[in-house]
Amino acid sequence: MRIERIEVRRVGLPLLRPFETSFGRTTRKEFLLVSVSAAGVTGYGECVADTDPFYLPETLGTAHHVLKDFLAPMAFALEIAHPRDLAGALSAVRGHEMAKAALEMALWELHARREGLPLYRVLGGRGGTIAAGVSIGLQDDVPALLERVEAEVAAGYRRIKIKIKPGKDRELVAAVRARFPELPLMADANSAYTLDDAPLFEELDRYGLMMVEQPLGWDDVVDHAALQRRIRTPICLDESIRSARDARQALNLGACGVVNLKPGRVGGFRESLAIHDLCRFRGVPLWCGGMLESGIGRLANVHLQTLPGFTLPGDTSASARYFAEDLVDPPVTVSKAGLIAVPEKPGIGHEILWRRVEQATSFREEWRRA
Protein backbone atom coordinates (compact mmCIF):
# COMPACT_ATOMS: atom_id res chain seq x y z
CA MET A 1 0.00 0.00 0.00
CA ARG A 2 1.17 3.52 -0.82
CA ILE A 3 -0.02 6.68 0.89
CA GLU A 4 -1.57 8.92 -1.77
CA ARG A 5 -2.57 12.05 0.08
CA ILE A 6 -1.85 13.76 3.38
CA GLU A 7 -3.88 16.71 4.61
CA VAL A 8 -3.17 18.93 7.61
CA ARG A 9 -5.58 21.38 9.14
CA ARG A 10 -4.98 23.82 11.94
CA VAL A 11 -8.02 23.49 14.18
CA GLY A 12 -8.94 25.71 17.13
CA LEU A 13 -11.50 25.08 19.85
CA PRO A 14 -12.18 27.38 22.82
CA LEU A 15 -11.82 25.64 26.18
CA LEU A 16 -14.82 25.90 28.50
CA ARG A 17 -12.45 26.63 31.38
CA PRO A 18 -8.84 27.81 31.25
CA PHE A 19 -6.38 25.00 31.99
CA GLU A 20 -3.40 26.08 34.10
CA THR A 21 -0.21 24.15 34.80
CA SER A 22 3.18 25.15 36.23
CA PHE A 23 4.26 26.16 32.71
CA GLY A 24 1.28 28.27 31.70
CA ARG A 25 -2.39 28.82 31.15
CA THR A 26 -4.36 27.72 28.07
CA THR A 27 -7.76 29.07 27.09
CA ARG A 28 -7.91 27.56 23.62
CA LYS A 29 -6.96 24.19 22.19
CA GLU A 30 -5.07 24.63 18.89
CA PHE A 31 -3.87 21.55 17.04
CA LEU A 32 -3.06 20.01 13.68
CA LEU A 33 -5.48 17.41 12.42
CA VAL A 34 -3.69 15.04 10.05
CA SER A 35 -5.59 12.98 7.46
CA VAL A 36 -3.86 10.17 5.56
CA SER A 37 -5.46 8.60 2.47
CA ALA A 38 -4.57 5.35 0.75
CA ALA A 39 -6.51 2.75 -1.22
CA GLY A 40 -9.65 4.90 -1.10
CA VAL A 41 -9.71 5.09 2.71
CA THR A 42 -8.78 8.02 5.00
CA GLY A 43 -7.54 7.83 8.58
CA TYR A 44 -7.18 10.61 11.15
CA GLY A 45 -4.59 11.60 13.72
CA GLU A 46 -4.47 14.53 16.12
CA CYS A 47 -1.12 16.19 16.71
CA VAL A 48 -0.61 17.06 20.39
CA ALA A 49 2.01 19.79 19.85
CA ASP A 50 0.94 23.07 21.48
CA THR A 51 1.31 26.54 19.96
CA ASP A 52 4.23 27.16 22.37
CA PRO A 53 7.25 25.03 23.40
CA PHE A 54 6.54 25.15 27.16
CA TYR A 55 5.54 21.51 27.77
CA LEU A 56 8.06 19.96 25.36
CA PRO A 57 10.17 21.52 22.58
CA GLU A 58 7.81 20.84 19.68
CA THR A 59 5.21 23.36 18.58
CA LEU A 60 2.37 23.32 16.12
CA GLY A 61 4.65 25.29 13.77
CA THR A 62 7.57 22.85 14.01
CA ALA A 63 5.19 19.93 13.54
CA HIS A 64 3.81 21.49 10.37
CA HIS A 65 7.31 22.16 9.01
CA VAL A 66 8.65 18.70 9.79
CA LEU A 67 5.55 16.98 8.43
CA LYS A 68 5.57 18.98 5.22
CA ASP A 69 9.28 18.98 4.42
CA PHE A 70 10.40 15.62 5.80
CA LEU A 71 7.84 13.16 7.14
CA ALA A 72 5.26 13.39 4.33
CA PRO A 73 7.87 12.86 1.56
CA MET A 74 9.32 9.88 3.48
CA ALA A 75 5.86 8.40 3.99
CA PHE A 76 4.97 8.83 0.30
CA ALA A 77 8.15 6.98 -0.71
CA LEU A 78 7.40 3.96 1.46
CA GLU A 79 5.66 0.73 0.42
CA ILE A 80 3.62 -0.03 3.54
CA ALA A 81 2.50 -3.55 4.47
CA HIS A 82 1.37 -2.61 8.00
CA PRO A 83 1.20 0.68 9.97
CA ARG A 84 3.97 -0.58 12.24
CA ASP A 85 6.34 -0.19 9.26
CA LEU A 86 6.09 3.60 9.26
CA ALA A 87 7.83 4.52 12.52
CA GLY A 88 11.10 2.84 11.49
CA ALA A 89 11.15 4.75 8.21
CA LEU A 90 10.56 8.05 10.03
CA SER A 91 13.34 7.40 12.55
CA ALA A 92 15.85 9.11 10.23
CA VAL A 93 14.27 12.32 11.56
CA ARG A 94 15.60 12.90 15.06
CA GLY A 95 13.10 13.97 17.69
CA HIS A 96 9.81 15.56 16.55
CA GLU A 97 7.86 12.75 18.18
CA MET A 98 4.55 14.64 18.13
CA ALA A 99 4.77 15.31 14.38
CA LYS A 100 5.68 11.66 13.72
CA ALA A 101 2.92 10.40 15.99
CA ALA A 102 0.17 12.38 14.27
CA LEU A 103 1.06 10.80 10.92
CA GLU A 104 1.66 7.32 12.30
CA MET A 105 -1.55 7.31 14.36
CA ALA A 106 -3.54 8.47 11.32
CA LEU A 107 -2.11 5.49 9.41
CA TRP A 108 -3.14 3.04 12.16
CA GLU A 109 -6.60 4.61 12.12
CA LEU A 110 -6.75 4.23 8.34
CA HIS A 111 -5.67 0.57 8.71
CA ALA A 112 -8.44 -0.09 11.25
CA ARG A 113 -11.05 1.49 8.97
CA ARG A 114 -9.77 -0.49 6.02
CA GLU A 115 -10.08 -3.72 8.01
CA GLY A 116 -13.52 -2.64 9.25
CA LEU A 117 -12.28 -2.96 12.84
CA PRO A 118 -12.33 -0.67 15.86
CA LEU A 119 -8.88 0.82 16.49
CA TYR A 120 -8.42 -1.23 19.67
CA ARG A 121 -8.55 -4.46 17.66
CA VAL A 122 -5.59 -3.56 15.44
CA LEU A 123 -3.67 -2.36 18.52
CA GLY A 124 -4.29 -5.61 20.42
CA GLY A 125 -6.75 -4.26 22.98
CA ARG A 126 -10.27 -5.30 24.02
CA GLY A 127 -13.79 -3.94 23.94
CA GLY A 128 -15.90 -2.92 26.93
CA THR A 129 -15.04 0.03 29.12
CA ILE A 130 -12.03 1.84 30.55
CA ALA A 131 -11.69 3.58 33.90
CA ALA A 132 -11.55 7.37 33.66
CA GLY A 133 -9.48 9.80 35.73
CA VAL A 134 -9.22 13.59 35.58
CA SER A 135 -6.50 16.18 35.60
CA ILE A 136 -7.53 19.38 37.37
CA GLY A 137 -5.56 22.51 36.53
CA LEU A 138 -4.29 25.05 39.05
CA GLN A 139 -7.17 27.07 40.50
CA ASP A 140 -7.24 30.60 41.93
CA ASP A 141 -7.45 29.42 45.52
CA VAL A 142 -7.96 26.36 47.73
CA PRO A 143 -11.78 26.64 47.99
CA ALA A 144 -12.01 26.75 44.18
CA LEU A 145 -9.83 23.63 43.94
CA LEU A 146 -11.91 21.77 46.54
CA GLU A 147 -15.05 22.67 44.61
CA ARG A 148 -13.58 21.26 41.38
CA VAL A 149 -12.40 18.07 43.08
CA GLU A 150 -15.81 17.62 44.68
CA ALA A 151 -17.55 18.02 41.31
CA GLU A 152 -15.28 15.47 39.60
CA VAL A 153 -15.62 12.94 42.41
CA ALA A 154 -19.41 13.36 42.21
CA ALA A 155 -19.21 12.84 38.44
CA GLY A 156 -17.69 9.40 39.11
CA TYR A 157 -14.00 9.82 38.27
CA ARG A 158 -11.85 7.07 39.71
CA ARG A 159 -8.68 9.04 40.26
CA ILE A 160 -8.00 12.74 40.67
CA LYS A 161 -4.82 14.48 39.59
CA ILE A 162 -4.11 18.01 40.69
CA LYS A 163 -1.44 20.32 39.33
CA ILE A 164 1.17 21.84 41.63
CA LYS A 165 3.90 24.46 41.26
CA PRO A 166 6.29 26.20 43.67
CA GLY A 167 4.22 28.15 46.18
CA LYS A 168 1.07 26.20 45.29
CA ASP A 169 1.92 22.72 46.45
CA ARG A 170 1.77 21.51 50.07
CA GLU A 171 -1.35 23.45 51.02
CA LEU A 172 -3.24 22.18 47.95
CA VAL A 173 -2.32 18.56 48.61
CA ALA A 174 -3.03 18.92 52.34
CA ALA A 175 -6.44 20.52 51.73
CA VAL A 176 -7.62 17.95 49.19
CA ARG A 177 -6.34 15.08 51.35
CA ALA A 178 -8.06 16.48 54.47
CA ARG A 179 -11.37 16.75 52.64
CA PHE A 180 -11.04 13.36 50.83
CA PRO A 181 -9.01 10.98 53.05
CA GLU A 182 -9.48 7.91 50.84
CA LEU A 183 -9.42 9.47 47.39
CA PRO A 184 -6.96 8.03 44.84
CA LEU A 185 -5.02 11.28 44.48
CA MET A 186 -1.84 12.37 42.72
CA ALA A 187 -0.02 15.60 41.89
CA ASP A 188 1.66 16.70 38.65
CA ALA A 189 4.40 19.35 38.77
CA ASN A 190 5.27 19.50 35.05
CA SER A 191 8.99 19.88 35.77
CA ALA A 192 8.66 22.92 38.04
CA TYR A 193 11.15 21.80 40.74
CA THR A 194 14.79 20.89 41.20
CA LEU A 195 16.56 18.42 43.45
CA ASP A 196 16.95 21.26 45.97
CA ASP A 197 13.21 20.87 46.56
CA ALA A 198 13.61 17.27 47.77
CA PRO A 199 12.48 18.29 51.32
CA LEU A 200 9.10 19.35 49.90
CA PHE A 201 8.60 15.93 48.32
CA GLU A 202 9.73 14.22 51.56
CA GLU A 203 6.99 16.24 53.25
CA LEU A 204 4.39 15.21 50.63
CA ASP A 205 5.13 11.55 51.49
CA ARG A 206 2.74 11.84 54.44
CA TYR A 207 -0.33 12.43 52.22
CA GLY A 208 -0.42 8.97 50.67
CA LEU A 209 -0.38 10.17 47.08
CA MET A 210 -0.57 7.42 44.46
CA MET A 211 2.38 9.10 42.77
CA VAL A 212 3.97 12.46 42.07
CA GLU A 213 4.28 13.19 38.35
CA GLN A 214 7.33 14.76 36.68
CA PRO A 215 8.59 16.85 39.59
CA LEU A 216 12.02 17.63 38.05
CA GLY A 217 13.54 18.54 34.67
CA TRP A 218 11.67 17.64 31.48
CA ASP A 219 14.82 16.08 30.00
CA ASP A 220 16.17 14.56 33.19
CA VAL A 221 16.07 11.06 34.63
CA VAL A 222 19.22 11.10 36.79
CA ASP A 223 17.95 13.66 39.31
CA HIS A 224 14.58 11.88 39.37
CA ALA A 225 16.45 8.72 40.40
CA ALA A 226 18.16 10.67 43.19
CA LEU A 227 14.80 12.07 44.35
CA GLN A 228 13.14 8.66 44.18
CA ARG A 229 15.79 7.27 46.56
CA ARG A 230 14.71 9.92 49.10
CA ILE A 231 10.91 9.53 48.96
CA ARG A 232 8.42 6.67 49.37
CA THR A 233 5.79 8.09 47.00
CA PRO A 234 6.39 6.62 43.55
CA ILE A 235 7.56 9.09 40.92
CA CYS A 236 5.69 8.93 37.60
CA LEU A 237 7.51 10.24 34.55
CA ASP A 238 5.70 12.09 31.76
CA GLU A 239 7.89 14.64 29.89
CA SER A 240 11.12 12.63 30.40
CA ILE A 241 9.89 9.55 28.55
CA ARG A 242 9.87 10.06 24.79
CA SER A 243 10.76 6.50 23.73
CA ALA A 244 10.79 2.91 24.95
CA ARG A 245 14.51 3.31 25.55
CA ASP A 246 13.85 6.29 27.82
CA ALA A 247 11.35 4.17 29.75
CA ARG A 248 13.75 1.23 30.09
CA GLN A 249 16.60 3.47 31.22
CA ALA A 250 14.40 5.37 33.68
CA LEU A 251 13.23 2.09 35.22
CA ASN A 252 16.75 0.65 35.32
CA LEU A 253 17.98 3.79 37.09
CA GLY A 254 15.11 3.73 39.58
CA ALA A 255 13.97 7.16 38.35
CA CYS A 256 10.27 6.23 38.49
CA GLY A 257 7.86 3.58 39.69
CA VAL A 258 5.01 4.48 37.35
CA VAL A 259 4.86 5.48 33.68
CA ASN A 260 2.56 8.00 32.00
CA LEU A 261 2.21 7.10 28.31
CA LYS A 262 0.99 9.64 25.77
CA PRO A 263 1.21 8.21 22.28
CA GLY A 264 1.81 11.69 20.84
CA ARG A 265 4.80 12.23 23.12
CA VAL A 266 6.59 9.01 22.12
CA GLY A 267 6.20 9.11 18.32
CA GLY A 268 3.01 7.11 17.95
CA PHE A 269 1.44 3.73 18.52
CA ARG A 270 4.36 1.47 17.63
CA GLU A 271 6.54 3.06 20.31
CA SER A 272 3.53 3.09 22.66
CA LEU A 273 3.13 -0.66 22.23
CA ALA A 274 6.83 -1.16 23.01
CA ILE A 275 6.50 0.89 26.23
CA HIS A 276 3.31 -0.95 27.10
CA ASP A 277 5.00 -4.32 26.66
CA LEU A 278 8.03 -3.22 28.68
CA CYS A 279 5.91 -2.01 31.61
CA ARG A 280 3.69 -5.07 31.51
CA PHE A 281 6.64 -7.46 31.46
CA ARG A 282 8.30 -5.65 34.36
CA GLY A 283 5.09 -5.23 36.36
CA VAL A 284 5.32 -1.43 36.27
CA PRO A 285 2.01 0.44 36.66
CA LEU A 286 1.12 2.28 33.46
CA TRP A 287 -1.57 4.78 32.54
CA CYS A 288 -2.49 6.91 29.56
CA GLY A 289 -1.96 10.67 29.79
CA GLY A 290 -3.87 13.38 27.96
CA MET A 291 -3.14 16.60 26.09
CA LEU A 292 -6.58 18.26 26.20
CA GLU A 293 -7.35 16.48 22.94
CA SER A 294 -10.44 16.95 20.85
CA GLY A 295 -12.63 13.88 20.52
CA ILE A 296 -10.44 12.58 17.70
CA GLY A 297 -7.25 12.26 19.74
CA ARG A 298 -9.25 11.48 22.88
CA LEU A 299 -10.83 8.41 21.26
CA ALA A 300 -7.41 7.22 20.06
CA ASN A 301 -6.35 7.30 23.72
CA VAL A 302 -9.49 5.40 24.74
CA HIS A 303 -8.67 2.56 22.33
CA LEU A 304 -5.00 2.42 23.33
CA GLN A 305 -5.71 2.08 27.02
CA THR A 306 -7.78 -1.08 26.55
CA LEU A 307 -4.46 -2.96 26.37
CA PRO A 308 -3.86 -5.10 29.46
CA GLY A 309 -0.77 -3.22 30.68
CA PHE A 310 -2.78 -0.07 31.44
CA THR A 311 -3.33 -0.86 35.09
CA LEU A 312 -4.37 2.58 36.39
CA PRO A 313 -7.06 5.10 35.37
CA GLY A 314 -5.56 7.74 33.06
CA ASP A 315 -6.21 11.39 32.20
CA THR A 316 -8.95 10.60 29.66
CA SER A 317 -12.14 12.35 30.75
CA ALA A 318 -15.40 13.51 29.14
CA SER A 319 -15.45 15.89 26.13
CA ALA A 320 -17.90 18.10 28.04
CA ARG A 321 -15.19 18.99 30.59
CA TYR A 322 -13.29 20.78 27.82
CA PHE A 323 -15.51 21.82 24.93
CA ALA A 324 -19.02 23.20 24.41
CA GLU A 325 -19.08 21.17 21.20
CA ASP A 326 -16.63 18.41 20.40
CA LEU A 327 -15.67 17.36 16.88
CA VAL A 328 -17.06 13.84 17.22
CA ASP A 329 -20.57 12.49 17.57
CA PRO A 330 -21.33 11.20 20.09
CA PRO A 331 -18.86 13.07 22.30
CA VAL A 332 -16.78 11.08 24.80
CA THR A 333 -18.86 10.59 27.93
CA VAL A 334 -18.17 9.14 31.37
CA SER A 335 -20.73 7.08 33.30
CA LYS A 336 -21.65 7.69 36.94
CA ALA A 337 -19.40 4.69 37.67
CA GLY A 338 -16.46 6.55 36.11
CA LEU A 339 -16.26 4.42 32.97
CA ILE A 340 -15.87 5.27 29.28
CA ALA A 341 -17.41 2.91 26.71
CA VAL A 342 -14.95 1.66 24.10
CA PRO A 343 -16.34 2.26 20.59
CA GLU A 344 -17.06 -0.77 18.40
CA LYS A 345 -17.33 0.91 15.00
CA PRO A 346 -14.33 1.00 12.64
CA GLY A 347 -11.37 3.28 13.42
CA ILE A 348 -11.83 5.71 16.32
CA GLY A 349 -15.45 4.61 16.15
CA HIS A 350 -17.35 7.89 16.54
CA GLU A 351 -18.43 9.99 13.59
CA ILE A 352 -16.29 13.06 12.85
CA LEU A 353 -18.46 16.18 12.54
CA TRP A 354 -16.96 17.72 9.42
CA ARG A 355 -19.15 20.79 9.54
CA ARG A 356 -17.67 21.64 12.94
CA VAL A 357 -14.15 20.73 11.87
CA GLU A 358 -14.57 23.07 8.89
CA GLN A 359 -15.79 25.91 11.14
CA ALA A 360 -12.85 25.39 13.50
CA THR A 361 -10.23 25.21 10.72
CA SER A 362 -8.05 28.31 10.21
CA PHE A 363 -5.59 26.76 7.74
CA ARG A 364 -5.64 23.73 5.45
CA GLU A 365 -3.04 22.23 3.21
CA GLU A 366 -2.70 18.96 1.34
CA TRP A 367 0.17 17.08 -0.20
CA ARG A 368 0.03 14.27 -2.77
CA ARG A 369 2.44 11.52 -3.76
CA ALA A 370 4.37 12.68 -6.80
Binding residues (CB under 6 A) for ligand OSB: these are 55, 135, 188, 190, 238, 289-292, 315, 317
Closest CA to 286 of 327, 323, 236: 236
Catalytic residue among 100, 161, 163, 168: 163
271 vs 85, 264, 358, CA distance in Å? 12, 10, 31
CB of 246 closer than 8 Å to CB of 219: no
Contacts of 345 (CB under 8 A, 6+ apart): 118
User: Nearer to ligand OSB by C-beta: 19 or 346?
Assistant: 19
User: Nearer to Mg ion by C-beta: 53 or 73?
Assistant: 53
* Spatial separation of the C-alpha atoms in residues 73 and 2, rounded to whole Å: 12
User: Nearer to ligand OSB by C-beta: 25 or 368?
Assistant: 25
163 catalytic per annotation: yes
Contact range with Mg ion by CB under 5 A, out of 84-92, 124-132, 231-239, 241-249: 231-239
User: Nearer to Mg ion by C-beta: 73 or 184?
Assistant: 184
CB of 314 closer than 8 Å to CB of 133: yes
Q: How far is the CB of 277 from ligand OSB (least distance, A)?
A: 22
User: CA angle, 122 as apex, 72 and 34 as ends, to 5°?
Assistant: 30
Measured from each CB, the residue nearest to ligand OSB is 290
User: Nearer to Mg ion by C-beta: 8 or 212?
Assistant: 212
290 binds, among Mg ion, ligand OSB, none (CB under 5 to 8 A by kind): ligand OSB
H/E element holding 182?
Answer: none
Please tell me whether residue 238 binds Mg ion under the rule CB under 5 A.
yes
The site that binds Mg ion (CB under 5 A) totals a number of residues, namely 3
Distance spanning both ends of the chain, measured CA to CA: 15
What is the length of the chain?
370
Contact range with Mg ion by CB under 5 A, out of 60-68, 168-176, 211-219, 355-363: 211-219
Please tell me whether residue 188 binds Mg ion under the rule CB under 5 A.
yes
Please tell me whether residue 293 binds Mg ion under the rule CB under 5 A.
no
Please tell me whether residue 104 binds Mg ion under the rule CB under 5 A.
no
Q: Which residues pair with 45 in a beta bridge?
A: 34
Q: How far is the CB of 221 from Mg ion (least distance, A)?
A: 15
Helix residue spans in 283-339 (DSSP H): 295-304
* Spatial separation of the C-alpha atoms in residues 235 and 237, rounded to whole Å: 6
Q: How far is the CB of 150 from ligand OSB (least distance, A)?
A: 18
DSSP states along 216-251: S-TT-SHHHHHHHHH-SSPEEESTT--SHHHHHHHH
68 catalytic per annotation: no
Please tell me whether residue 109 binds Mg ion under the rule CB under 5 A.
no
Q: How far is the CB of 63 from ligand OSB (least distance, A)?
A: 15
Measured from each CB, the residue nearest to Mg ion is 238
Closest CA to 63 of 83, 80, 77, 46: 46
* Spatial separation of the C-alpha atoms in residues 367 and 112, rounded to whole Å: 22
Q: How far is the CB of 215 from ligand OSB (least distance, A)?
A: 12
314 binds, among ligand OSB, Mg ion, none (CB under 5 to 8 A by kind): none
291 binds, among Mg ion, ligand OSB, none (CB under 5 to 8 A by kind): ligand OSB
Contact range with Mg ion by CB under 5 A, out of 45-53, 186-194, 223-231, 250-258: 186-194
Closest CA to 238 of 89, 23, 83: 23
315 binds, among Mg ion, ligand OSB, none (CB under 5 to 8 A by kind): ligand OSB
Closest CA to 315 of 296, 334, 287, 347: 287
Q: How far is the CB of 31 from ligand OSB (least distance, A)?
A: 11
Q: How far is the CB of 292 from ligand OSB (least distance, A)?
A: 4
Active site residues: 163, 262
Query: What is the contact surface with Mg ion in residues (CB under 5 A)?
Result: 188, 213, 238
